[in-house]
């Protein structure tokens, strides 16, 4: 069952919000079950199992694939050129479909259950749009769980950690506008390249030692080799596990921009994407989960996940499900032993309770 679901979904990867075929497949599986099936936003799919409780537990899976050309050679490889489920979302959906089948057999449960299949996790983040509908409040959700297949973690191992587990993200763009002159008259110009270099060095200096990641991976500057650069653009990323550290660094970057402006004569502008909040696991829920299922400890990672948006509304826990020594996520060769899907299903069944 789980393998069938996973392979059917693997054949039809779609990206961003354009996941209509995926949504149709999910609805076709869910439609015959004793649950309410609906779309809170376009192409998202939800299934609500009402057991007559005043509380509801939610489980979330992402739906979208990646713009990756598959090179696995699998007999059920992507039928959509240039697109692939290279991040395991086909497996995540299969687990939730399996959970739906288990719920259909139950007469009673400790809580009602809401299954959320979310588009656009890899791009703009579907969680925000879903939460803004008031879905969690309408169905009295008081806890939420999710998981991600995880290469490098022992196959079949479930892992998590208390508190900050995945980072808050912010994609930084810093633009320096100076004045270009011939190098022979460099004192008459305002060197945007030098200003950018000084900005990077100072930013690295004050961020070192803090629980964060602040790095720039790209710089475009100047027009020709024999003129002072009149414009430079830095592109990088700021990631933190705590909002207080994030706000502290944002202030410091703004103060640094003002200092560089005064010293260099260049105008400095910082833009920062909204990004995702940090994934912060609820200690009480994780402790309870450990009494129901074996869960290993994992180290926090600077990778980001918009599951964090749900945690801004209700307490939740995110888990990693080990695939062992596989190709990394986002690789065109990514595949995994499908037996781990049963482990994910067993975890979620345990979290439902009686």
Cβ(30)–Cβ(47) below 8 Å: yes
Helix (H), strand (E), coil (C) string for the chain:
CHHHHHHHHHCCCCCCCCCHHHHHHHHHHHCCCCCEEECCCCCCEEEEECCCCCCEEEEEEECCCECCCCCCCCCCCCCCCCCECCCCHHHHHHHHHHHHHHHHHCCCCCCEEEEEEECCCCCCCHHHHHHHCCHHHHCCEEEEEEEEEEECCCCCCEEECCEEEECEEEEEEEEEECECCEHHHHHHCECHHHHHHHHHHHHHHHHCCCCEEEEEEEEEECCCCCECCCEEEEEEEEEECCHHHHHHHHHHHHHHHHHHHHHHCCEEEEEECCCCCCEEECHHHHHHHHHHCCCEECCCECCCCCHHHHHCCCCEEEEEEEEECCCCCCCCCCCCCCCHHHHHHHHHHHHHCC
Which of 14, 70, 121, 122 is flagged as catalytic?
Answer: 122
Active site (annotated) includes residue 79: no
Which of 14, 62, 121, 306 is flagged as catalytic?
Answer: 62
Active site (annotated) includes residue 255: no
Which residues are catalytic, by number? 62, 122
């Amino acid at each position: 069952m789980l393998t069938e679901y996973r392979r059917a979904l693997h054949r039809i990867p779609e990206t961003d919000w354009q996941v209509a075929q995926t949504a149709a497949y999910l609805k076709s599986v869910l439609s015959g079950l004793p649950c309410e099936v609906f779309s809170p936003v376009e192409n998202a799919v939800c299934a609500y199992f009402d057991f007559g409780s005043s509380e509801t537990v939610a489980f979330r899976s992402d739906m979208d694939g990646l713009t990756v050309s598959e090179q696995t050679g699998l007999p059920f490889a992507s039928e959509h050129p240039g697109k692939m489920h290279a991040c395991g979302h086909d497996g995540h959906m299969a687990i939730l479909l399996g959970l739906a089948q288990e719920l259909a057999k139950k007469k009673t449960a400790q809580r009602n259950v809401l299954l959320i299949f979310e588009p656009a996790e890899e791009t703009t983040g579907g969680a925000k749009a879903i939460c803004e509908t008031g879905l969690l409040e309408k169905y009295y959700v008081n806890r939420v769980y999710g998981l991600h297949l995880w290469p490098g973690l022992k196959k079949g191992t479930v892992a998590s950690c208390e508190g900050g587990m995945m980072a808050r993200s912010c994609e930084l763009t810093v633009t320096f506008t100076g004045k270009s002159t011939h190098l022979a008259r460099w004192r008459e110009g305002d060197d945007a390249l030098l200003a950018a270099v000084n900005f990077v060095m100072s930013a690295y200096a004050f961020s070192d030692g803090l629980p964060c990641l602040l790095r720039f991976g790209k710089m475009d500057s100047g027009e020709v080799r024999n003129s002072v650069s009149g414009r430079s653009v830095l592109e990088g990323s700021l990631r933190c596990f705590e909002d207080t550290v994030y706000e502290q660094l944002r202030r410091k970057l703004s103060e640094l921009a003002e200092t560089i402006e005064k010293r260099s004569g260049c105008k400095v502008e910082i833009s920062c994407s909204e990004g995702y909040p940090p994934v912060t696991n609820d200690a009480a829920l994780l402790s309870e989960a450990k009494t129901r299922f074996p869960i290993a400890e994992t180290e926090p990672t600077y990778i980001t996940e918009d599951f964090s948006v749900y945690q801004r509304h209700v307490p939740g826990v995110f888990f990693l499900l080990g695939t062992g020594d596989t190709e990394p996520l986002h690789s065109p060769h990514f595949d995994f032993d499908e037996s781990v899907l049963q482990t994910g299903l067993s975890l979620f069944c345990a979290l439902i309770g009686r």
